Amino acid sequence: MKHLKILFLLVFSAFIVSSCNNKKETQKKDVLSFDSEKELDNEKTVKKVFFNLPSPIEITQTILATKSAFNQELLNPVSNLSNYSSSSDLALNFGVYGADLCYCRVYDQLQSAIAYLAVIRKLTTQLQIPEDAGAETINRIEENIGNRDSIFQIISETYSEADGYLKENDRELTAALILIGGWVEGMHFAVNLQSNQNNQALISSIAEQKYSLENLISLIEEYKDNGAFAEIYPFFEKLVLVYSNVTITRDKSVIVTDQDTKITSIESETNIQITKEQLNEIKNLIGEIRTKIVS
Amino acid sequence: MKTVHTFILLLGFLIGINSIASAQCKTFTKNDCKPRLEPYIYNGQLNSAVLNEGDIAELMLTFYSNQDYRIVVCAAPELGKIVFRLVDEKGQELFTNKDHDFTETWDFRTKSTQQLVVEVSVPESNTGELIKSGCVSILVGFLDKQ
C-alpha cells in the first residue's frame, strides 16, 4: 500500500511538471498577422517556436556589402560603459558594443576593435557570465584580432556561449536584450549611413529589416510589461506601424537543388517600395530607441 | 507528514531531472551539433529543446540576399529520423530532408531577402513503448564572403 502511494505521487508529480512546461510552450500556429497576404497554414500544434535575429556579424557584413563608408562617429563611446548598472542596461549595451566591435572589425579598424573588446570583457563579468563561458573566447578574440578568417568565428562563439549560458540558467530575457541591443545598433548604422550617402542597396537593406523586426516583436512580446522594456516597447510598436506600410513583394521562388554540392538555391525577384518619409520615420524611431539604450 | 516529505522530495527530483535534461541539451548541441556548421559562422543563437515523439518545433528567421546559409538539425539518436523542412512566408515548401535521406545538414543560397521557417518534426514510433524524448537543436550559420 505504501509503495502504491509513492507510485501515485510519482505519476501525479510527473503530470504536474509536464503540464507546467507544456502550458508555457505549446501554441497553435496562426497566420502571421504582420502581412495580410500570407496564406493560412494547416493548423497544427507546435511544441516550441524559436525566433532568431541577425547576428551583429551578419548585420555589419550586410552594411559592408552596400559599400558604405566607415563612420567612427556612429559608435557608442566606450566611456559610456560607466553609465550602465542595471542588468537590462548591461545586457542591451552588451549587444550594442558587440555590434560596434563587429563594425570596427569588418572595416579593419583594429585599434577601435580592441577597445570594444575590452568593454565586452567587462560586460561579461558584470552580467555574471562565468569565465569558462565568456572570458576564454574573449582571450582568443584578442589573440586573433588581426586574423579575419578566425575572428568572426570566435566572436560568434562569444555570443553563443553567453546565449547558451543565459538560456540554460533561465535568463532568456537577458539573452533577448543582448540580441535586441545588437539589432538596434545595426539599424542605427544603416539608417545614419543611408541618410548621408543615399545608397540604394542600403535603402533596400533597411526595408528588408521588416522581417527581422517581426521576429524581434515575437521574441519580446511576452516581456513587454517587464520594466526592462517599458520605455522602449512603445517605440517598437510605432516602428511596426511604419514598416506595415513598407511594401515588399516577391515572385514565387524557383528552387534549384544540387545533389552533389548539397546546396539549394532559392531564386526570386523582389520589389521594394519604401518612401523617404518612411525612411525618416524609421531613422527617428531607431534614434529614440538607441538614445534610451546608450544614455 | 512523512507522505508530504516524500511528495516534496519526488517533486524536487523531477524538476531537477528537467534542469539536467536542459543542461545536457546545451552540451549535446555544443559538442555534437555545432562542429557541423563549420566553415559557416554560427549565428550565436541556441535553439534547442527537449521534445517528445510527435512534437514539432519551428525556427523563424530571415535569410538575407546573396548570402549562403547552413542549417543543422541535430537530435538525440533515440528520436529516430527527424524531418526538417524549409518553408517560406507563403507556405511554399523550399526544401525537405525527406527527399535527401533525412540528412541533418543542408546549405542554402538566397538571391533575395525573405522570412523563412525551419520546421522540425519528431517521428512517432508506434511501438507501444514509453514515449521517447530527447534533445533537438536547430543551428544556423552563414558564410563570411569578404
Please report, for chain B, the start and end positions of each structural domain, with discontinuous segments joined by +.
Answer: 2-142
DSSP label at B33? I
Question: HSE (CB half, 13 Å, CA atoms) of A50?
Answer: 24
What is the per-residue pLDDT for A207?
Answer: 95
Residue percentage of chain B with pLDDT more than 90: 57
Residue A164 has pLDDT above 70, yes or no: yes
pLDDT, tens digit, 9 for 90 and up, residues A85-102: 999 999 999 999 999 999
State the Cα angle at A128 between A123 and A129, rounded to 5°: 85
**pLDDT the model gives residue B16:** 62
Q: Write down the mean pLDDT value for chain A.
A: 81
Q: What pLDDT, on a 0 to 100 scale, did the predictor assign at position A42?
A: 47
- Distance (Å) from the alpha carbon of A202 to chain B's nearest alpha carbon: 12
Residue B126, Cβ neighbours under 10 Å: how many?
Answer: 8
Whether residue A133 has pLDDT greater than 80: no
Residue B108 has pLDDT above 70, yes or no: yes
Residue B21 pLDDT > 70:
no
Distance between CA B117 and CA B53 in Å, rounded?
A: 20
pLDDT of the residue at A95: 94
The residue in chain A having the minimum alpha-carbon distance to the alpha carbon of residue B51 is A47
DSSP A183-242: HHHHHHHHHHHHHHH--HHHHHHHHHHHHHHHHHHHHHGGGTTSHHHHTTHHHHHHHHHH
The answer to whether residue A118 scores a pLDDT higher than 90 is: no
Strands A270-273 and A48-51: unpaired
Reported for B125-132, long-range contacts at CB under 8 A and 24+ positions apart, including other chains, are B125/B53, B125/B80, B131/B52, B131/B53, B132/B52, B132/B53, B132/B78, B132/B79, B132/B80
Name the residue with higher pLDDT: B11 or A27.
Answer: B11
Looking at residue B10, its pLDDT comes to 63
Chain A contact probe: residue of B3, B87, B113 with most A CBs at under 10 A: B113
pTM: 0.83
Write the residue in B44, B58, B90 that is nearest to A39 by C-beta: B90
Residue of chain B whose Cα is closest to the Cα of A264: B108
Determine, for residues A160 and B34 on separate chains, whether the beta-carbon distance falls below 8 Å.
yes
Q: Higher pLDDT residue, A179 or A148?
A: A179
Question: For residue A258, what are the β-bridge partners?
Answer: A263
Mean pLDDT for B84-91 is 92
User: What's the confidence (pLDDT) of residue A106?
Assistant: 86
Nearest residue to B73 via CA among B130, B123, B144, B17: B123
Task: Specify whether the CB–CB gap between B61 and B140 falls below 8 A.
Answer: yes
C-alpha cell at A33: 498577422
How sure is the predictor about A274, in pLDDT bands with cuts at 50, 70 and 90? very high
A207-228 mean pLDDT? 89
Q: What is the mean pLDDT of residues B35-55?
A: 91
Pull the grid cell for residue A164.
Answer: 547558451
Position B57 scores a pLDDT of: 96
Cα separations in angstroms, A132 against A55, A115, A137, A161, A173: 22, 22, 8, 9, 21
Higher pLDDT, A38 or A210: A210
pLDDT value for A37: 29
Q: Do A6 and B10 touch (CB under 8 A)?
A: yes
What average pLDDT does this structure show over B18-25?
70
Please give the Cα distance from A67 to A179 (Å, whole number).
25
Q: Which residue of A has its CA nearest to B140?
A: A52
Q: Which residues of A touch B64 (CB under 8 A)?
A: 54, 58, 62, 208
Confidence of residue A28 (pLDDT cuts 50, 70, 90): very low
Compute the average pLDDT of residues B33-43. Answer: 91
CB A233 within 8 A of CB A102: no
Q: Angle, nearest 10°, between helix axes A2-25 and B2-28? A: 40
| Whether the Cβ atoms of residue B62 and residue A211 lie closer than 8 Å to each other | yes
Burial track A102-121 (b if 16+ CB lie within 10 A, e otherwise): bbbbbbebeebbbbbbebbb
Asked if the model's pLDDT at residue A35 lies above 80, the reply is no
C-alpha cell of A155?
566572436
ipTM attached to this prediction: 0.87
Q: Is the pLDDT of residue A214 over 80?
A: yes
Instruction: State mean pLDDT over A265-285.
Output: 94
pLDDT at A44 over 50: yes
C-alpha cell of A262? 548539397
CA distance A161 to A181: 17
What is the C-alpha to C-alpha distance for residues A50 and B49, in angstroms, rounded to an integer? 10
CATH class, B2-142 region: mainly beta
> Is the confidence at residue A32, as pLDDT, over 50?
no
Q: DSSP secondary-structure letter at A85?
A: -
